[in-house]
Each structure stands twice: as structure tokens, then as C-alpha cells.
């Protein structure tokens, strides 16, 4: 039997990474599925009348071993993958898809769930139990339990194909990212690059036995080059390489995959009685309908567009005056924005980075969590890690009780996808009277330390770390009974509230003074720099808002319509971007073919939620500002009604319990400087 199918017998029941061999996964999955099926059979074959306890309760705790194996395996497939793991993922995904369908299409199981659901008015259930019952019933009805046998088979086939297509989509992007290198031999070609970025590029070249500098599509390499490199032709080359991922009509092309995923999602929704995939998804969101989402996005677009156009015009004039640029292109965006920002605010990332040594920023995030929620973080080396770069912590409360195990993984490497995310290796739940504490992880891609410098973060990376740490707190402070309602298991357009609100502390003097100290001198960040951070925080907010809205509108254009008539990915995208376009289109580039959030991750019909959650977080943070950013009463309310409750109640109900009112969009517009 695989190590993954036995009790771990490790400190805090943590994953025994170093003892797991790649060949353990497939047999472990098969055994886990077998065991989970047996647990379902026990529920179905129970001759007693269906009750909440013997059906709904039992169903939520079933498959625990399989869930644990899945979380370990798929987290590693994102953070530390290789060809073997990717191959296993392709093999395992259809098995899991089949198993999931075996549950939701199990008529006898659904009959029991339905019997409990139909008698709910006679049951004395807690709010959490009511939510769970509702969720379990909808889990069946929304996934085909009421369909005829013929339609159920069709649904199974669609789900299996979708699971494989999504994996293939991600593999193509990772392969494109890993294979591209821009090898520079001439000092003039790296002109403008900060010393740290230059040194990192040189070290990367050396590590591959090459002279000169290597620039890649990994964010810590790509973004500094696009922001600082003086050579416009090289910026264009890199920008086109980045923007053409999955769009080269080669073996790694994603165009057919995008069209197929959109079509299959539409067919699936129709099969289940929904107009489109977005109608299906949004039924279980705060936003409720595609119409509401489109109205929300377009109202923000109306408010942001005048500001964005004005900002763009100023940027165009600035580039023309500075370098006689006639037509601003996408590869000019970061470069001239940074130059203009330096001119307007005498502020640039290179000035700030010495104050944001990674270790200090981590301590800063921990201190904020301690001041707000009474948490203590202690680095420990008694638990296993999946890579040497990973940091491991024990998190305790003010009584010294274990709150969570916390993993943090900060640097890019070949087996790790780009971006930043939070995930979990073990959920929180109350089982057999014991409050099982969660194992939470955040994964980022920051600049690695070099021979001469520690890892120094840009301010944008500081907010990214706080953002993911906000998600982590949502996972760590979970305090619910049932695993499927715990932590970040909330409506998708509510899940970004804890992460986005935490970013606000990065702009506060009270917070920055806690951790922003110069890595060489120990000097606390000067007040004038704090002021500049605050005044520059709304710089190009109109353009940034337009960019976010364009992604949300693109998502809805794929999922809120019948995609049957879409034959060309690029042509469809150009049309979807029409209302938000500022820069000329680049024929060689396509966003959709690398839009992993919606075609690989779980954000399909949900990308709008970043902006939706910004409305929530701006409104919520105004409450903190009114009472004091470290006000214990407000923090306790946020912990009690938002962070600990998971998905136990409707998110708007929870929000109103915290805030005393519904969120007002004006708070976001005020913060963004878009309210005149």
C-alpha cells in the first residue's frame, strides 16, 4: 500500500513529502477512489430512514483520504512539477472526473439527499447545517442528478474531456514559459536594467553555462525588463514572446483548446437547463446573473474610461517629448509609465526595494496578523517540505494553541508555474469532537537572492505577498464544523475580500514603520517615501481599472454567450476588447490562449470577482480607517464574521454582520481617485 493511503504519523499530521515517490501517486489515487466509493456505498446501503447525520453529515466527511492525496498531488503539479507528474495528472484527472460523476449521478444517493432536503422544514438545523444541506442538494441537481440516463452519460463524457483539456492548456503554457530564453551578449542590450535584475540575468546565464545575460518569461525576469530596458526593439521582442504563448500554430498551440473548452462548457450548461455557462456559474455567486455582472463591469467602465483616456494621452505626450515616440505600443507601457511615475513622484521601485527585504516583509505580514488577530508565527524545521526553498511555520493563538501549519514558497523554478496563489494541504474541520487545524500554503515568484543582494521586493511584490497572506489567514482562521464549508470554500466573488483588504495595510505609515527598514543600514523607510507611495497609489488607476475590466469582459464574452459561432479566437478577442482598448492591437499576440485563470483555473465566469471584491475591500477598509487600522474591535468583528465563518452563511449576510450595511461602490471610486 502506498504511503499516501496510510496514516502519516508525522508532526501535526503534515504531508511526508520526502518519503513520497512519484510512482506512489497513481496507486494511491486508485486506492483512495476505491475507499471513497466504499464510504459512499455505506451511506447508500444504509437501511435506516435518511437523516441529516447518516446522509448529509456522512457525505461531507467521506473521501477525506482521497481529498488529501489530491491536494498534495495537484499542489505539487503547480509548484514542483515534472514530466512524470504531468503524465500522472493526465491519467488521474479522468479517473477523478468519473468518480465525481459517480457521486453526483448516483440516483440512490440523490434520493437520500432529496429526502432529507424535502423534510428540512421539520429538522432543527443550525445555520451551518442548513447551508450544507442546500449545498449538497444543489451539488447533485446542478451536476445532472435530475437528468435522464442518456443525458447523464453525455455529461460524464463532457466532464472527462474538460478535465483533460484544462490540464493540456496549462502544460502548453508552462512549456512555452520554460523553453523561451532571450540570450543577450552585449552590455548595451541590458542598458537601463537595475543592478539586481542584471545580476540575476547574469547568474541565470552562468547556471546554464552561458556568457552574457538570460531573460526569460518568468515574472521576476520579464517584468523588470519590460519596465526598465532602454532597448525598445528587445522590449518588443520579449513582449511578443510573452503575449503569443499558446498562439503560434505549433504543438503548444491553445486556440483549438480554447474553442473546445468554451463549447463544452456551453453544452454542459444547456444540458443542465441553463442558458449559458455563466448563468450556471453565477447562480452560486453574490453577483447571481451574467446581466448583473455585465452591468457592474460596464458601470465601472463608464466611470474609469474618461480617466484612463486622459492618463493614456498624458503618457503618449510624455513618450513623444522624451523619445519622439509617435505611437505608443504595449511594450512601451511599463517603461514609460515607470519613467513618468519617477518624474511626477520622484519615486521608483529601485528606490523602494532596499526597504523591502523579503524576510522583513514576511515579518511585517506576521506582525500585522499578530496585532489584528493575535496570531504568533514560529519557524520550525520539524516538518517535511517539498523543496528546500519552502519555509515552514507553526501558527498559534494568544493561548499558545495550534491554529495552523503554514508553508511559504517564494522563488521561481522550472517546475513551478508563474504567478502567486494560496492553497491548502489539509482543511479545517471538527471531526469526532476534535477541531482539526488546517495546513495552508502560499506560493509566489519573487526575485531570488543573488551573490551580492538578498531578495528585495518591488512594492507590487509586497502587496502580492500581503494579498496571498490574506487568503492564507482566511484558511488559517477557519472555524467551521464541515470541511466543504471551511476556510476559502466561499462564493467565488467573496473569496478575494480577505486577500484584497490586507493589501491596504501596505500603504499605511503605521504598518510600514513596523517592517520597512533598509537592508544595509537598518534605517526605517523615510516619511517622504511613505507619502510618495500613498500619493502615487492612484497613478494610472484609470488605465489599471480598464485593464482589469477588459479581462472580466473577455471572460464573459466566452462564457456568457453561445460560443458555437466563434471560429477564430483572436477575432473574437479583438471584438471583446473593443470598449477597453487603448493600445494598438498586436497581431502576433492573443490573451485567451494563455488566460489560465479562466481556461485552466477556476475563474471561468468569475474574473469580474476581483473588481467585485475590491468594492467590498474598499468599503470594509474604510471601516478600519474610521476606527483605526489596528482597531481590535473592528478586527475581531472581521475575524468573527468573515475570516472564521467560511461558507457557512450567505456572504452578504456575513458582510452586513461585520459592517452593519451593504458595501458601497463609492468607497472604491474614492480610493482609486476616480470620484471627481
User: Which residues belong to the active site?
Assistant: 468
The grid cell for 444 is: 509566489
Strands 402-409 and 439-443: parallel
Q: Bridge partners of 619?
A: none
36 within 8 A of 63, measured Cβ to Cβ: yes
Q: How far apart are CA 211 and CA 83, in angstroms?
A: 28
Mutual angle of helices 496-503 and 459-476, in 10-degree steps: 140
Those residues with Cβ within 8 angstroms of residue 151's Cβ, 6 or more apart along the chain or in another chain: 144, 271
What is Dmax (Cα atoms) for the chain?
82
Mutual angle of helices 64-79 and 25-44, in 10-degree steps: 150
Nearest alpha carbon to residue 641 among 137, 284, 127: 127
Question: Quick check: helix, strand or coil at residue 341?
Answer: helix
Nearest alpha carbon to residue 583 among 328, 286, 319, 281: 328
Q: How far apart are CA 585 and CA 274, in angstroms?
A: 34
Q: What are residue 84's phi and psi, to 5 degrees?
A: -65, -45
DSSP code of residue 57: I
293 within 8 A of 287, measured Cβ to Cβ: yes
Q: Where are the alpha helices (DSSP H) in 450-568?
A: 459-476, 496-503, 509-515, 527-536, 541-559
Q: Where are the alpha helices (DSSP H) in 324-442?
A: 333-345, 349-352, 358-373
**Neighbouring C-beta atoms of residue 133, cutoff 10 Å:** 20
Work out the end-to-end distance of the chain between its first and last CA atoms, rounded to an integer number of angstroms. 66
Q: How far apart are CA 618 and CA 665, in angstroms?
A: 8
Q: How far apart are CA 415 and CA 582, in angstroms?
A: 35
162 within 8 A of 101, measured Cβ to Cβ: no
Q: Where are the alpha helices (DSSP H) in 537-649?
A: 541-559, 569-576, 596-599, 609-627, 632-638
The grid cell for 260 is: 473546445
Residue 666 CA, chain-centre distance (Å), reads 25
Question: Quick check: helix, strand or coil at residue 429?
Answer: strand
Nearest alpha carbon to residue 539 among 314, 226, 321: 314
602 within 8 A of 555, measured Cβ to Cβ: no
> How many Cα atoms are found within 13 Å in the side-chain-facing hemisphere of 656?
7
The grid cell for 123 is: 429538522
Residue 368 CA, chain-centre distance (Å), reads 21
Those residues with Cβ within 8 angstroms of residue 3's Cβ, 6 or more apart along the chain or in another chain: 16, 19, 20, 24, 28
For the four alpha carbons of 64, 69, 70 and 72, in that order, the dihedral sign comes to positive
Amino acid at each position: 500500500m502506498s504511503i499516501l493511503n496510510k496514516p502519516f504519523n508525522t508532526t501535526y499530521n503534515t504531508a511526508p513529502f520526502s518519503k513520497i515517490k512519484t510512482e506512489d501517486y497513481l496507486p494511491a489515487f486508485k486506492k483512495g477512489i476505491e475507499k471513497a466509493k466504499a464510504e459512499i456505498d455505506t451511506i447508500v446501503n444504509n437501511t435506516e430512514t435518511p437523516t441529516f447525520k447518516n446522509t448529509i453529515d456522512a457525505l461531507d466527511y467521506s473521501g477525506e483520504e482521497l481529498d488529501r492525496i489530491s491536494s498534495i498531488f495537484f499542489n505539487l503539479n503547480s509548484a514542483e512539477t515534472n514530466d512524470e507528474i504531468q503524465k500522472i495528472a493526465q491519467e488521474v484527472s479522468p479517473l477523478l472526473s468519473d468518480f465525481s460523476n459517480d457521486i453526483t449521478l448516483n440516483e440512490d444517493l440523490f434520493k437520500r439527499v432529496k429526502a432529507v432536503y424535502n423534510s428540512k422544514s421539520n429538522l432543527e438545523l443550525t445555520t451551518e447545517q442548513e447551508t450544507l444541506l442546500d449545498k449538497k442538494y444543489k451539488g447533485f441537481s446542478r451536476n445532472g442528478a435530475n437528468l435522464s440516463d442518456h443525458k447523464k452519460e453525455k455529461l460524464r463524457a463532457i466532464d472527462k474531456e474538460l478535465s483533460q483539456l484544462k490540464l493540456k492548456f496549462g502544460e502548453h503554457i508552462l512549456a512555452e514559459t520554460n523553453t523561451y530564453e532571450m540570450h543577450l551578449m552585449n552590455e548595451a542590450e541590458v542598458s537601463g536594467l537595475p543592478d539586481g535584475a542584471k545580476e540575476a540575468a547574469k547568474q541565470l546565464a552562468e547556471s546554464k553555462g552561458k556568457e552574457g545575460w538570460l531573460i526569460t518569461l518568468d515574472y521576476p525576469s520579464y517584468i523588470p525588463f519590460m519596465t526598465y530596458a532602454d532597448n525598445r526593439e528587445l522590449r518588443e521582442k520579449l513582449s511578443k514572446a510573452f503575449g503569443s504563448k499558446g498562439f503560434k500554430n505549433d504543438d503548444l498551440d491553445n486556440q483549438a483548446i480554447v474553442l473546445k473548452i468554451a463549447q463544452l462548457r456551453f453544452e454542459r450548461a444547456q444540458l443542465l437547463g441553463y442558458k449559458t455557462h455563466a448563468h450556471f456559474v453565477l447562480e452560486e455567486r453574490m453577483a447571481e446573473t451574467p446581466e448583473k455582472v455585465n452591468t457592474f463591469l460596464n458601470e465601472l467602465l463608464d466611470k474609469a474610461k474618461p480617466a484612463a483616456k486622459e492618463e493614456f494621452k498624458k503618457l503618449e505626450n510624455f513618450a513623444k517629448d522624451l523619445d519622439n515616440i509617435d505611437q505608443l505600443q504595449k511594450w512601451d507601457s511599463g517603461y514609460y509609465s515607470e519613467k513618468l511615475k519617477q518624474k511626477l513622484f520622484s519615486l521608483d521601485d529601485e528606490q523602494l526595494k532596499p526597504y523591502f527585504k523579503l524576510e522583513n516583509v514576511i515579518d511585517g505580514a506576521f506582525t500585522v496578523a499578530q496585532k489584528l488577530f493575535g496570531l504568533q508565527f514560529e519557524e520550525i524545521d520539524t516538518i517535511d517540505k517539498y523543496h528546500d526553498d519552502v519555509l515552514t511555520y507553526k501558527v498559534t493563538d494568544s493561548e499558545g494553541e495550534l491554529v495552523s501549519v503554514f508553508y511559504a514558497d517564494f522563488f521561481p523554478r522550472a517546475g513551478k508555474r508563474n504567478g502567486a496563489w494560496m492553497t491548502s494541504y489539509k482543511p479545517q474541520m471538527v471531526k469526532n469532537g476534535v477541531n482539526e487545524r488546517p495546513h495552508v500554503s502560499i506560493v509566489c515568484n519573487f526575485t531570488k537572492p543573488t551573490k551580492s543582494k538578498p531578495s528585495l521586493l518591488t512594492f507590487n511584490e509586497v502587496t502580492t505577498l500581503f494579498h496571498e497572506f490574506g487568503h492564507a489567514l482566511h484558511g488559517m482562521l477557519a472555524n467551521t464544523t464541515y470541511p466543504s464549508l471551511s476556510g476559502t470554500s466561499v462564493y467565488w466573488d467573496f473569496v478575494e475580500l480577505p486577500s484584497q483588504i490586507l493589501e491596504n495595510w501596505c500603504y499605511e505609515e503605521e504598518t510600514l514603520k513596523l517592517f520597512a527598514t533598509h537592508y544595509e543600514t537598518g534605517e526605517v523607510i523615510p516619511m517622504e517615501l511613505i507619502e510618495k507611495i500613498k500619493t502615487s497609489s492612484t497613478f494610472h488607476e484609470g488605465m489599471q481599472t480598464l485593464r482589469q475590466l477588459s479581462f472580466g469582459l473577455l471572460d464573459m464574452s466566452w462564457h456568457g454567450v453561445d460560443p458555437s459561432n466563434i471560429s477564430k479566437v483572436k477575432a473574437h478577442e479583438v471584438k471583446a476588447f473593443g470598449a477597453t482598448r487603448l493600445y494598438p492591437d498586436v497581431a502576433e499576440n492573443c490573451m485567451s490562449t494563455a488566460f489560465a485563470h479562466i481556461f485552466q483555473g477556476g475563474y471561468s465566469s468569475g474574473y469580474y470577482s476581483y473588481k467585485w471584491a475590491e468594492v467590498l475591500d474598499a468599503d470594509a477598509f474604510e471601516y478600519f480607517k474610521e476606527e483605526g487600522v489596528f482597531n481590535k474591535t473592528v478586527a475581531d468583528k472581521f475575524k468573527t464574521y468573515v475570516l472564521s465563518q467560511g461558507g457557512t452563511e450567505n456572504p452578504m449576510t456575513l458582510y452586513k454582520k461585520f459592517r452593519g450595511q451593504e458595501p458601497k461602490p463609492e468607497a472604491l471610486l474614492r480610493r482609486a481617485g476616480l470620484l471627481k
